[in-house]
Amino acid sequence: MSKTPEYFVGKTIIITGAASGIGRAAALIFAREGANVVCVDINADGTQQTAERVIAQGGKALVLRTDVTSRKDVNEMIRRAIDTFGNVQFQFNSAGAALRRSKFLDIDDALFDDTFSLNVKGTFHCMQAILPHMLENGHGVIVNMASMAHRRGGPGSSVHYAAAKGAVVSMTLGVAREFAQAGIRCLSISPGPVRTPFQSAAQTSPELMQRFLDDVPMKRFGEPEEIAELVLFMCSDACAFMTADTVYVNGGGGWR
């Protein structure tokens, strides 16, 4: 089945991590399709810039400075999104980070807790806060950002991050299956390296950069738009039978 033309016109998506990288690319792509975009991030300036670009494209945007690790912030964000646009059909949880590279034996409790707080609890808070609204509507699509790291385990640099993204994949699976008959779909995306500020921060040496590239048969990084277009497809009615799984986008690379 092809996507209904104008499917996204007048519908609303909440995007966390909208100040930068993949979240920003998704905001612009959904605006292109005529959707209202709730731009959510802890970085107020970056979120404002994304919203200005959405508006410059003729779209409607709401800017909310929100720390997804705070349940209070997230509940307030959802309330304001619904108050502003009436209905929210989609949520893309892109806010996340590895925070710091560390060998396994050097991962301290603070790094472990902060990484889980951002990537796992942040996603958990956002899903729990929007689901009652989606259940009331009998419709909704949630897309969560995982990572190829969950398949690789992050040896030598980021086991904390890989484990957190593994939890995102599992949580997505569980939510999708729990609400499958209620009109809700929930999916995750597991990208390989994508050219964003997140990735620039990770490339602490030319050797590490080369190691990333060596892993990718296409010998390049992904572009944020190459992930964001998948988010659009996942949210569309062309993707109606797909839920629960994670989709790998990695130029052919990784665990093979």
Window 197 to 226, contacts with ligand NAD (CB under 6 A): 197-199
161 is catalytic: yes
Tell me the closest approach of the beta carbon of residue 95 to ligand NAD, in angstroms: 4
Tell me the closest approach of the beta carbon of residue 9 to ligand NAD, in angstroms: 26
Candidates 115, 196, 243, 246: give the one binding ligand NAD (CB under 6 A). Answer: 196
Stretch that binds ligand NAD, among 6-14, 27-35, 107-115, 194-202 (CB under 6 A): 194-202
Candidates 96, 140, 154, 254: give the one binding ligand NAD (CB under 6 A). Answer: 96
43 binds ligand NAD (CB under 6 A): yes
Residue 126's φ and ψ, nearest 5 degrees, are -65, -40
CB 27 within 8 A of CB 57: no
Binding mask 108-137 for ligand NAD (x = CB under 6 A): ----------x---x---------------
Q: Which is nearer to ligand NAD, 137 or 199 (CB)?
A: 199
Binding mask 57-76 for ligand NAD (x = CB under 6 A): ---------xxxx-------
Candidates 8, 12, 23, 81: give the one binding ligand NAD (CB under 6 A). Answer: 23
22 binds ligand NAD (CB under 6 A): yes
Q: Which is nearer to ligand NAD, 128 or 137 (CB)?
A: 128
